[in-house]
Structures are given as C-alpha cells and as structure tokens.
Structure 1
Amino acid sequence: MDAQQVPGHGAPTVRYVSGGSQNEIFEVERDGVRMALRKPPQTAVAARDDGIRREWRILSALSDTDVPHARAVAMCDDPAVLGRPFYLMEFVDGWSPMGHPDGLAEPFHSDVAARAGLATGLVDGAALLGRVDWRSAGLTDFGRPEGFHDRQVDRWLTFWERTGGRDAIAGMAVATAWLRTHRPIDFVPGIMHGDYQFANVMFRHGAPGTLAALVDWEMGTIGDPKLDLAWALRDWPAAGPPRSAGYISLVGMPERDALLARYSEVSGRQVDDFDYYLVLARWKLGIVLEQGYQNAGDDPLLQSFGRTVEDLMLAAADLAESTDFRHRVEAGSGA
C-alpha cells in the first residue's frame, strides 16, 4: 500500500463484506480512509484473474467522467501478496437493493412516491455510461465492437450448447430467427456494463433517490450501451405502471415510455428501436440463466431458473411476432 501511495498511513484494518464463487469484497480502512478490496476467492477459476484486471481497466477509464462509480485506488497484479490479483477502490457509502424487503431501503420501502428517483437514476446511469468517449479513455483494445450484433446469435447459441441447454424451449426458435434477420436502426459503440440492473447499482442513503455507483463490472466490454437499457427495463410493461422485477418492487416508478424519453435525452441516442434490444435482452438472459438451471442440483433458486428461462423465451418470441419494428437485414449477412 505504501509503494502504491495508497491514502493513509500504517497497517489497515480489514472486514469481510460479501463474497461468492466469483468475487470477494472486503472493507479496508487505513488511517481513517475507507476503501473496498475486490478479488477472486482462492477457489475461483483462473479466468477470474483476467476478470479482475478487466474490471480495473473500466474503473480506471471512468476516472474524470460523470458516471457514478467507485474511484479506482490501486491494483496489485502479484498473486504473492494475497494469493490472487486484487484491486482497491473507493468505499461507496450507500445501499444496494439486494438484501432489503422488496429491494427497497427506507424511506423508499414506505414512501411509494419517492421511488421515481430510483428508476430515473438507474436509467441515467446507463445513459451516462454510454456517453463516455471510450477511445479517449484508453479502451480501444478492450472489446470488438465491429460486428457486435452480427455475432450475438451464434455466440450465445454456442454458449447454450456448451452448457447443455434443453433441446426445445417454446419461443426460442421464433426469437432466434427474428434476431438473425433484424438489426437496430443504428449502432453507436460504447462502454457496456453487461449486467445492468438494480442489483448492480448503489444509491445514496435517504431521499431523493440518488445513484451512488454502478458496481460489479465483470461483464463490462465495448458493445452496444442500449442493450444495458433493455436489460434494466425488461420487466417494465410496454404501457401502464410497472409492478415487480422479482427482487425489487417497481410500484410507484415511472412508466417505460417516460424512462425511454429520459434515456434518449441524457444519452443523445434514439430509442425508436428499443423493441429490438428488448427481444435480444430477454433471449440472451434466458440463455444465461439456462446455465444455472443445468447446474442447479438441489438448489431451489437455480431450479426456479428453468421456468424463468421458459417465460423469457416466450416473452421474446411474443414481442418479436407483435412488434412493428421492421429494420431487417438479409439472413446470414456479416459485419
């Protein structure tokens, strides 16, 4: 820490915060300075080391931007120090929707009217992230934006096959065929979180709802930021008030059209092709969750993914068949 000129002096105190098979998070305090340490557990696969390095690249690139995030402090790539590569970042004083009743801390759990700012903050975070000049931020080698949409179907079908996905899921063939023959109206590459939703942001304590930080960057890449928007809003109905996103109540939050207009205003991007992204988001999430279902064992949560996958595929197919979005490409065309 001294060699890296980490703030504070002397030996730190360390408190375990949370962890799983992919990452562990610790609170590190040194001379009154609070930081968070993120690293893979000792049992994680070797690829998680590269994931930690990728997360650090993104956090570093976001410095001096208006994207709410935990400020990057220091990176250690030497596994001799703690057994795996790790990094230190600013400790964010806020709350996460995970672990609260209906996903809402007070006063938002009790005050329905106060929840509008949470949804607006979520959308603003996606818009601000997509607005970052990723080339100037040093991320020109961070992803492959060229042909991004042309790769999606084959890439995720390969993932499905590799994880032993079921042979027939109602709606999957319809959604897959639709995605092969449709593209968005335009494609403006940008930084993409990759799993953007309420579970992966933090808010400041107290009202009004103010976004404190986007967190958990292991899926980050250079891609299409509007897919983050669809990922975040996939549980909103096309019209009428939203109700629930499973782990968080959406009651009291703005309707989808208002949030799409907000995103367009902040990001400077058009959202007339949102249906395309919503079909892709539902279809892709279904494929991702199928992996959990195939590995469920006796875990009731992972077992429930089986029905969720079926619901997502049907929702993707229903939207594909009913939308009036008609920006088509020839089947099999490449970048």
Structure 2
Amino acid sequence: MAGPVRQPIDLQSLERWIDTNTPEIKTPLDLKQFGFGQSNPTYQITSPDGARYVVRKKPPGTLLSKTAHRVDREYRIISALGDTDVPVPKCYGLCEDDSVIGTPFYIMDFLDGRFITEPHFPAQSAEERHEMWRAAVTTLAKFHRVNYSAVGLSDFGKHSSFYDRQISTFSRLSRAQASVTDVETGVPVGDIPHFDEILDFFSNKEKQPKDRSSLIHGDYKIDNLVFHKTEPRVIGILDWEMATIGHPLSDFVNLTGPWTWAGRDQNGQIRPQLEFDPSVTPGLPSLDQVIKWYVDTSGYNVRQDLDWGNAFGGLRSSIIIQGIAARVALRQASGLTAKAYAKLLTPTGLWTWEQVKKLTDKPAQDAGNKAKL
C-alpha cells in the first residue's frame, strides 16, 4: 500500500523530533508514502526493528478552508477514544511546530489488518461479507453512543443545529472553491449545479430531521476501516480529519451510500452500486437489515430521516468533490485519484438537485414524529 514518496519531507528532522519526544519509536527510519488520502499527506515510517507507524501531516501551501486539514483534531479524538469500545490506533505524539517537517503532524500505530477498498467485499465469502458489514455498522453505532463529555470532548463541536451550521459553512466554502482558477489554464472550478435552490430547500426547518447530537466521524465508510486479518471485525477507524460533534444521520448516510447513491455509470451519473443488487452479490445485507443493526445498537431510528439525509449527503459530496477540484487546480491535491474525483462535480450536483425536487413534494414531518426519538 505504501510506495514512493511523492511529497518529500525532512526525514532527519523528523527522526530528531522522534528521538526527543517519542523515544519508544526507534530510528533511523525508512519512509514511504501511502497513495490514499486526498487532503492530508500520509506516510509510513518503519523502524530498524521492523515496527511500522503512520505519520499524518497537514498539506503545504495556502489552504482554502480553515476547518479542514486539522491534524491536531484528528490526534485529539483518536486519543480520546482510546479507552472506549471504539477501535482506534494508538497515538504517540502530535507536533505543531512547522519547522520540523514543514507543517503540523502526528504519529500513530500502523494497523496490520485488511484494508477493503470495495464495499461489497469481493474477495470474501458470503458469510464473512455479511458479518463484516455487521461489524462496520455496529462499530459506527457504538461510536455514536460515546458520551463526548465523558471522554473530554464536550468542546469538540457545537451541540445543536448541526445541519444549519453545515449549510452556512457549505455556502461560504463553495463560493470560495468555485472561484479558484487553475494555475495553468486560468479556468475557474465553477459552481455546483442549482446550488442556491438546493441550499434554500435544506434551510427549510419544516423539512429537516429532529435535531440531535453525537460524536461523528465525517467520512465513515468501508475504506476508512481496518478489519482483522482473519476475523470479520473492525480493529481500527481511520481518517478522522472531519470528525466533530454533529448529527449521527450524516455518518449513517455516508456508510450506506452503496445502496442509494455511491454508484456511477459510464457517464459519471449517480446510481446505487450494481453489486448491491441482492441478486448480484450473495451475503450482502439488505439496507433494511443494516438499519436494524444500527437502530438496535444505537437506539436512534434513522429510517425516518434517511431520504432527507441521503439528499443532504449529495450536497456534502458535491462540496467535497468541489474542494478536491480546487486543490487539483492549485496543484495541492495529494491523492493519486484526485483528478478523477474532480470530474464528478457536475453529475453529483445534478443528482442532489433531483433528490431535492422529489423531497419538495413530500409533506413536512409532523411534530409528533419528530418528538418520538
């Protein structure tokens, strides 16, 4: 998984910092870079005794968002969850001194497990496929059950109005991203299709789900999980840069995207992933089964909010893709697939607009339903 270093860092300076601050990690180090991670460059370091660790650093250059790329927040939440039943890697240290390797970074354990890139688990048996999905869902539900005050994270985000705050943030961020021009061609990234109408719909309080709060990951999906090498269980959750306190619906929508919006046809148009048709991949749970696992473990009846959440997930995906497109334009993107993602901006925005039009014709949730859970 780790290969040649595309974004060099001062390895000797890193080794000096490690010798002083985390002496349990032995030097000198071998350095490689992972191909995943669209925003925060991620490296593998290996000590002379063969022990492997991961370095996550803030990207260089002028950044569009003040809230993204916060490796200090990643470090804080991973450390806080270390004593809970949520599986996370061990953290060794956080460095906020730019003079060491150019930007802030932290070091955590390398988890020696299975990294699954396809959510239909093509290499697994039907039985294991089913159980690995159960593990992914129940791990998310356990995470949402964590009392953020009890683990010292009560100030990790605001405790209410998550979606209203998201709308405000998305509006500002999208305007900035849309205006970014390519450093070579001068062509702007451009707006998300029907962006103003989409924002108007989601701002309608009568259409929104009941407000609630929990810790949320922000990008919870199968390829951000590490599974045990031989057992169908999660041993670690990765990529915490968007974690905060928010509405748990957002994480559930992200995880269950393959049943609704995570597929693409040859033209980049959104659809359910073909592999998630019950007749195509034996052992995959139905969306109803996934909802039941989540509700039974978390206590939150996510079903009543799912259509709205999926549509909002489309908006969120559009914003993320637009951000990747902006980083590609500025030559700041670190992932190998960044250019391919950037091309999905228009079809993702159009899909979101279609969902909004369908929901516009639905009656608002009545107060009784909102008060139940």
Task: Specify the TM-score bucket, using the shorter chain as the normaliser.
Answer: 0.7 to 0.9
Alignment partner, residue 292 of structure 2 = 261
Q: Give runs of aligned pairs for residues 66-215 of structure 1, distance below 5 A.
A: 66-98=85-117, 102=118, 108-109=122-123, 111-164=125-178, 169=193, 173=197, 176-181=200-205, 182-187=207-212, 189-206=213-230, 208-215=231-238
Q: Does 1:283 align with 2:326?
A: no
1:168 Cα deviation (Å)? 7.7
Provide the C-alpha distance between the structure 1 equivalents of 2:146 and 2:296, rounded to a whole number of angstroms.
Answer: 15
CA contact (8 A) 1:156 1:287 kept: yes
Q: Does 1:16 align with 2:32?
A: yes
1:3 Cα deviation (Å)? 4.0
Of 326, 329, 335, the residue aligned with 2:365 is: 326
Residue 255 to residue 176, structure 1, CA distance change in 2 (3 Å): farther
- Partner of 1:22, secondary structure, is coil
1:191 Cα deviation (Å)? 1.2
Moved more, 30-39 or 119-128: 30-39
Letter of the aligned partner of 2:160 in structure 1? Answer: E
Of 348, 352, 362, the residue aligned with 1:308 is: 348
CA contact (8 A) 1:94 1:202 kept: yes
1:260 Cα deviation (Å)? 1.0
Q: Give runs of aligned pairs for residues 210-221 of structure 1, distance below 5 A.
A: 210-221=233-244
Provide the C-alpha distance between the structure 2 equivalents of 1:109 and 1:322, rounded to a whole number of angstroms.
Answer: 42
Residue 235 to residue 103, structure 1, CA distance change in 2 (3 Å): closer
Q: Does 1:60 align with 2:79?
A: yes
CA contact (8 A) 2:214 2:246 kept: yes
Root mean square deviation of aligned Cα: 3.5
Alignment partner, residue 7 of structure 1 = 24
Letter of the aligned partner of 1:161 in structure 2? Answer: R
Q: Deviations over 1:213-261 (max 9, x none)?
A: 11111111111122101111133149xx97348xxx9764211111111
Q: Deviations over 1:19-62 (max 9, x none)?
A: 55532222333545432222234457495996111111111111
Provide the C-alpha distance between the structure 1 equivalents of 2:58 and 2:148, rounded to a whole number of angstroms.
Answer: 26
Residue 124 to residue 288, structure 1, CA distance change in 2 (3 Å): same
- Partner of 2:27, secondary structure, is coil
Residue 17 to residue 112, structure 1, CA distance change in 2 (3 Å): farther
Residue 117 to residue 32, structure 1, CA distance change in 2 (3 Å): same
CA contact (8 A) 2:192 2:318 kept: no
Structure 2, unmatched stretches of 5+, are 1-17, 179-188, 262-271, 330-337, 368-373
Moved more, 254-263 or 171-180: 171-180
Of 251, 255, 258, the residue aligned with 1:235 is: 258
- Partner of 1:149, secondary structure, is helix
1:73 Cα deviation (Å)? 1.8
Residue 6 to residue 325, structure 1, CA distance change in 2 (3 Å): farther
Residue 312 to residue 279, structure 1, CA distance change in 2 (3 Å): closer
Letter of the aligned partner of 2:220 in structure 1? Answer: Y
CA contact (8 A) 1:61 1:139 kept: yes
Residue 294 to residue 223, structure 1, CA distance change in 2 (3 Å): same
Of 22, 44, 59, the residue aligned with 1:26 is: 44
Question: How many aligned residue pairs are there?
Answer: 315
Q: Deviations over 1:95-124 (max 9, x none)?
A: 3233xxx5676xx42534431123222212
1:89 Cα deviation (Å)? 0.9
1:183 Cα deviation (Å)? 2.8
Provide the C-alpha distance between the structure 1 equivalents of 2:62 and 2:273, rounded to a whole number of angstroms.
Answer: 38
CA contact (8 A) 2:174 2:319 kept: yes
CA contact (8 A) 1:21 1:44 kept: no
Residue 282 to residue 131, structure 1, CA distance change in 2 (3 Å): same
Letter of the aligned partner of 1:205 in structure 2? Answer: K
